[in-house]
Chain A
Amino acid sequence: MLRGYRGFLREMSSTGGWRALALQLRVGAAHVARRWLRPATGDPIERFLANYGGDGFRLPDPDRARLQLAAEACLVCGLCSAECARVGGAPRLDPRDAVVSAARLEIDWLRLGLEEPAATPCAGCRACTAVCPAAIPIDRVQEALSKDLHLAARGGGIR
């Protein structure tokens, strides 16, 4: 692993120059040391942009990233699935599966959704969101998912 990192550094110094190497030091040493002395506070997305936005780093979509972050709080309790079954919702993807896949990589949203193309899309009744003990905006996860699926069906890629 160390050899791989050395190779990475060599690659960086040859292609990106000293500026990239300085960034490596900031990320790998200065940032770690600061975090160790002072715990992180506030919104992680804002923090990332404040720390690295000046270096030219951009998040593909801060809203989507925030949604993914919220989905990581999922306890996989299944109460949203139960509530969805009670109110008679028939989303393309079970709300719990939607949240779990949202917490992973976006590509999984697509894969899971496309496996069941026949099911109807979510009606957006928000019953799942009301019952979630972890306060995840499940309806918004579903909404983002349908948007992805819509684009994928047109052959337009993820965004």
Chain B
Amino acid sequence: MRAVVVGGGLAGCAAALELRARGNEVVLVRSGPGATAMSWGTLDVAAASPLRRGGLPLRDPASSRSLAPARRLLAAANAGPAHPYATLLRGRSAATEVKESAAALDGWLAPSGLRVLGGLDQTRWLADLRGAVRAADLAFTGAGEGDLASADEIALVDVPGLAGFDARAALRVLAGELAALALPRRPLRLLRLALPEALAELGAAPARLARALEAPAAREALRPALEGLGADGRVLLFPPVLGLEGVAPLLTWISDTTGCRCAELLGAPPLPLAGYRLDRALCAALSRAGVEVRAGRALSVDGEGGRAARLRVADLAAPDAGDAKLVLDALVLATGRFVGGGIGERDGRLAETLLDLPLYDLAGRRVDGMTPRRLARRDYEGEQPLFAAGVRTDARLRPLGAEGDVRLANVFAAGDLLGSFDPARERTGLGVALLSGRRAGIEAAKC
């Protein structure tokens, strides 16, 4: 069977790899890296947002005991019958589903040196580049080692001259958040990593610094600067620049040299290396598995007898070559939302871009055809219908038409294209991408 997956983020990659693992011929059409490449270094199956309104709860409201991520996952699934987790976990054990998915992802990423750390039984307290604390569950190598709760002493490592990182401000924010979260008090410290001159010059371009740090020669240059950074029970938190394509070798070396646990802070754009590494590792996994990846933009789907038969694709690698038509037996849409381009504006109105599927918000209200301005609310932390908009599916993840019917029997949807959840507020972004991507791949393989 020949399957086509549209979307180059985690959901699309997971679907493609599951399809390929079942012996199918798979083409993945990708117009860019998608929002996955802008992720922070965590997987976020069900991370809490204790200091914001509207996120998943950190503590049980009745007993005020802290909730394990597994319980938060169930809370998310129970919040609404249309939530992707509710669809994905119906009649299944959430713990097994997540464990299997995390193991599959770990298997795909491990050859690139990226591992999936943690589980749903325990919250991982991770600090980001600005000092804000995230109650995460699963995280990737780099940030994943930086659990604040299991450290006796927390040290933020300042790299003077590094653009986009203010260690002093981050330390102040971190101290404030640790107090607000009522975590056990522990000493906080600011340490300086004075880079040798040749490396310090690159501080203005963090990606180039990360590239230079990968070279074995950089280690000898770093060795004197690392002296005196280590201490018993201390966790050293570095800005996320310890290697461009892989973080594990340098992290292990620094850990051995200083004798204490080391990690990167969670980093988001404009220091996007955590997401960049994830994207690179996923691309490597696709190429190892033998998935054909095409740089292209999906334009339209030809249907025949209630099934999708062909996908018209604009080739981005050779823009003058004209459109290609891919013949297919199954189609997985993991086109994302506003970054990926699965949902966008058409004539000033909200629309699903490929099949013009109906879109629904958190409350199950139909929102396609409305102007985005009407769906955005003034209250920053409040419910934002615009950011929860997406398609609805049946139990097999096939998108539903306006009458609640499956229009094309061999089309499946995954990732952020699924509606009725707000990944930013709930912090369930990559979790939904991984679980729904795998499921869409498994269901599509049955076609």
Give the B-binding residues of A (Cβ under 8 A). 39-41, 75-79, 81-86, 94, 96, 130-135
A81 to B208, CA, bound (A): 8
**Which of chain B's residues have a CB closer than 8 A to the CB of A76?**
269-270
Assuming A39-B348, A85-B210, A133-B32, is B269 touching A78 (CB within 8 A)?
A: yes
A77 to B339, CA, bound (A): 11
Residue of B nearest to A130 (CB): B295
A10 to B275, CA, bound (A): 56
Q: Is the CB of A75 within 8 A of B208?
A: no
Q: How many A-B residue pairs have CB under 8 A?
A: 74
Residue of B nearest to A80 (CB): B207
**Which of chain A's residues have a CB closer than 8 A to the CB of B295?**
130
Q: Is the CB of A86 within 8 A of B32?
A: no
Q: Which of B173-225 contact A (CB under 8 A)?
A: 205-208, 210-211
**Which of chain A's residues have a CB closer than 8 A to the CB of B279?**
79
Does chain A have a CB within 8 A of B272? Answer: yes
Assuming A78-B269, A85-B210, is B37 touching A94 (CB within 8 A)?
A: no
Q: Which of B337-363 contact A (CB under 8 A)?
A: 339-341, 347-349
**Which of chain A's residues have a CB closer than 8 A to the CB of B32?**
130-135
**Which of chain A's residues have a CB closer than 8 A to the CB of B339?**
75, 133-134
Does chain A have a CB within 8 A of B281? Answer: no
Dominant SS among interface residues on chain A: loop
**Which of chain A's residues have a CB closer than 8 A to the CB of B205?**
81, 85, 94
Q: Is the CB of B38 within 8 A of A77?
A: yes
Q: Is the CB of A77 within 8 A of B272?
A: yes
| Tally of contact residues, B, Cβ under 8 A | 32
Assuming A130-B295, A133-B32, A135-B31, is B371 touching A75 (CB within 8 A)?
A: no
**Which of chain B's residues have a CB closer than 8 A to the CB of A131?**
32-33, 37
Q: Is the CB of A82 within 8 A of B270?
A: no
Does chain A have a CB within 8 A of B34? Answer: yes
State the 7 A-B residue pairs at the shortest beta-carbon distance, nearest first. Answer: A39-B348, A85-B207, A77-B269, A82-B207, A85-B211, A81-B207, A78-B270
B32, B207, B295, B340 pick with most chain A CB within 10 angstroms: B207
Q: Is the CB of B271 within 8 A of A78?
A: yes
Q: Is the CB of B208 within 8 A of A77?
A: no
Does chain A have a CB within 8 A of B276? Answer: yes
**Which of chain B's residues have a CB closer than 8 A to the CB of A78?**
206-207, 269-272
* Given A76-B269, A86-B244, 14 additional A-B pairs, CB 8 A: A39-B348, A77-B38, A77-B270, A78-B206, A79-B275, A79-B276, A81-B205, A85-B205, A86-B207, A130-B295, A133-B339, A133-B340, A134-B339, A135-B31
**Which of chain A's residues have a CB closer than 8 A to the CB of B347?**
39, 41
Residue of A nearest to B35 (CB): A133
Q: Is the CB of B244 within 8 A of A79?
A: no
Does chain A have a CB within 8 A of B19? Answer: no
Q: Is the CB of B33 within 8 A of A79?
A: yes
A40 to B348, CA, bound (A): 7
A20 to B445, CA, bound (A): 66
Q: 8 A–B contact pairs at CB < 8 A?
A: A76-B270, A77-B37, A78-B271, A82-B210, A84-B207, A86-B211, A96-B270, A135-B341
Residue of A nearest to B212 (CB): A85
**Which of chain A's residues have a CB closer than 8 A to the CB of B210?**
82, 85
Assuming A85-B210, A132-B32, is B37 touching A39 (CB within 8 A)?
A: no
**Distance of A44 from chain B, by nearest CB (Å):** 12
**Which of chain B's residues have a CB closer than 8 A to the CB of A132?**
32
Q: Is the CB of A133 within 8 A of B37?
A: yes
Q: Is the CB of A79 within 8 A of B208?
A: no
**Distance of A95 from chain B, by nearest CB (Å):** 10
A78 to B295, CA, bound (A): 20
**Which of chain B's residues have a CB closer than 8 A to the CB of A130?**
32, 295, 316
Does chain A have a CB within 8 A of B245? Answer: yes
**Distance of B447 from chain A, by nearest CB (Å):** 30
Does chain A have a CB within 8 A of B273? Answer: yes
Q: Is the CB of A85 within 8 A of B244?
A: yes
A76 to B316, CA, bound (A): 22
**Which of chain A's residues have a CB closer than 8 A to the CB of B348?**
39-41
A86 to B275, CA, bound (A): 15
**Which of chain A's residues have a CB closer than 8 A to the CB of B33?**
79, 131, 133
Residue of B nearest to A132 (CB): B32
Residue of A nearest to B164 (CB): A78
1/0 per residue B347-390: CB within 8 Å of A?
A: 11100000000000000000000010000000000000000000
**Which of chain A's residues have a CB closer than 8 A to the CB of B340?**
133
A134 to B344, CA, bound (A): 12
**Which of chain B's residues have a CB closer than 8 A to the CB of A81?**
205-208
Residue of B nearest to A86 (CB): B244
A58 to B197, CA, bound (A): 51
